[in-house]
Chains A and B, each alone.
Chain A
Amino acid sequence: MTKTVTDVICPFCGTLCDDLEVVVSDDGKQLLEVYNACAIGAEKFLHSQAKDRITRPRMRQEDGTWKEITYDEAVEYTANMLADAKKPLMYGWSSTNCEAQAVGAEIGEAVGAVMDNTATVCHGTSLIAVQDIGIPSCTLGEVKNRADRVLFWGCNPAHAHPRHMSRYSIFPRGFFTGKGHTGRKVIVVDPRPTDTASLADIHLQIEQGHDYELFDALRVAFKGEKLPDVVAGIPKEKIYEVAETLKSGRFAIIFFGMGVTQSIGKNHNIDAAIAVTRDLNEYTKAAIMPMRGHYNVTGSGQVWGWQFGFPFAVDLSRGFARYNPGETTSNDLLRRDEVDAVFVLGSDPGAHFPFNSVKKIYDLPSVVIDPHETPTSEVCKVHVPVAFVGVEIGGCAYRMDNVPIETRKVVDAPEGMMTDEEFLTRVLARVKELKGV
């Protein structure tokens, strides 16, 4: 006999879908099927069952091969590495629960680490912009029930957040949006005619890297002022049309992604996007939301926000929290050789940092905590596999709109495997002994 677990939370992307159904074997040890998830979410659940999964910590040998070690040895190595370092970098924190993030922050305080999460290569620039000029935002529930103008700027949910459009932004019928997608006008701004753009009423194929100009042009168009014939590759008639479309709605929502945060201009692009939202509120109700990537990168910002006052790039090396993006951010620290050990949990900088940062991790003492074998485990000295959060252990996660959702355990982890939180708690205890605090 099998059991079906309902209302399961998907621990992959910031959409944090909470309606999955998972079929497990009677003894709760095997995960058999996943329903309602998108292809990526389903793969995440199913991969936890892989036969070739690594279930014990490993240490890199001189000749480049791995040697299996015990969790005790891994705790000892990690605690010593962090305690000995002058300024270790503790990076990642996005694919784990808030409970583990909190313990990690305690370790960071004890050893004087720099704490940084994946926002540093994702929506870090959005966080800087929010600190500059604030943000009028809302929840995804409000989007579903109210939004009749939906603008996707530099994001491609059809690929990155596959169920976002069906659950919240384009297709669902809500309280004031009873006609579903026919009642919504969808606009996409992207240098490519993406699969998301193919669902839009209007696609502006912007010249890559010219987002700031186009945001500003929209602000001009809202006021009915004069525009040059072409801005950022878009004819002015189109820009006036989009401005009118947005103004004529009852509730406009702007979703933005990496196209804006990672292109030249960075945080200033987001400043302009937020200013567009603010201006739009002169005519109708408007809100803006970053399309957060990892399922709990938002939670990591929340936890550090209430612990240290800053959502990423927190430098604790002087005994108090400092924050200065460009200085205390992972890639800048690595490139400038300003850290002397690297601890990674719940992220894969080996795959997602520019290579010259990866090389620095390879050259330093380094530990990675990750259920998977990844390019990061390839360059680290010790790899500690752990249980999958949201599959083999529950815990709190924050959706992209800052709504906390409790993830659920659906199957047991393989015999004898630790969770992130258990491992970190052991490291914290050992670090305290070593530091005498």
Chain B
Amino acid sequence: MAIRVNLITGRTIQQGVAMEAGKEKPAYATACGIIELDPTDFKKLGAFRNTNVRVTSEHGSVVVKAVEATQGPHPGVAYIPMGPWANMVVNPNTYSTGMPTFKGTPVEVEVAKDEPVYSSLELVRKACRGELA
């Protein structure tokens, strides 16, 4: 079962700390390779907390771990902390302002239990070489 939600991105303190500790470290993927979903959206998705999910938009696709919203409730809105995972799916159009549309991308979320969440360097490397599924 796939659900449709409105995706926003942004900073979290965990993202900031993990980023300064080193983006090559696993802690960075733990902090940013996630999607925060509202409990009601979890129900609709029919998934447990901490399940890997595939997030797909018109612009791309990425596998991240679904966790419960830490700053909720926000039904219908999903949150991926800023970073390479979010940037696989955000709307890159700037509409002549220079600014990609990082907030407000419609995405589809589906369970992808057996697919891995890559580390930041792996994700970018694989995507650049066209090695992602």
* Interface residues in chain A, defined as those with a beta carbon under 8 Å from any beta carbon in chain B: 12, 38-40, 43-44, 47, 50, 120-121, 124-125, 128, 156, 158-160, 162, 191-195, 197, 205, 208-209, 258-259, 261-264, 266-267, 293, 312-313, 325-332, 335, 348, 350-359, 362, 372-375, 378-379
Contact = CB atoms under 8 A, between A and B. Distances in A.
B33 to A, nearest CB: 12
B20 A124 contact: no
Interface residues of B, number: 50
B59 A358 contact: no
B65 to A, nearest CB: 18
Contacts of A329: 94, 97-99
Contacts of A350: 84, 124
A279 B82 CA distance: 34
Contacts of A194: 71
Interface stretch (B11-19, B41-49, B108-116): B11-19
A232 B60 CA distance: 29
Given A262-B99, A373-B24, A354 B87 contact: yes
B73 A258 contact: no
A38 B100 CA distance: 29
B20 A44 contact: yes
A432 to B, nearest CB: 30
A44 B18 CA distance: 10
A192 B12 contact: no
A97 B108 CA distance: 42
Contacts of A372: 22-23
Given A208-B6, A209-B103, A264-B101, A355 B20 contact: no
Contacts of B59: 354, 356
A259 B103 contact: yes
Contacts of A262: 99-103
A264 B23 contact: no
Contact of B94 (A40, A205, A332, A373): A332
Given A326-B98, A353-B87, A354-B100, A373 B11 contact: no
A193 B71 contact: yes
A8 B6 CA distance: 41
A209 B23 contact: no
Contacts of B100: 121, 262, 331, 353-354, 357
B127 A359 contact: yes
Interface in B96-133: 96-104, 120-121, 123-125, 127-128
B10 interface: yes
B26 interface: no
B13 A40 contact: yes
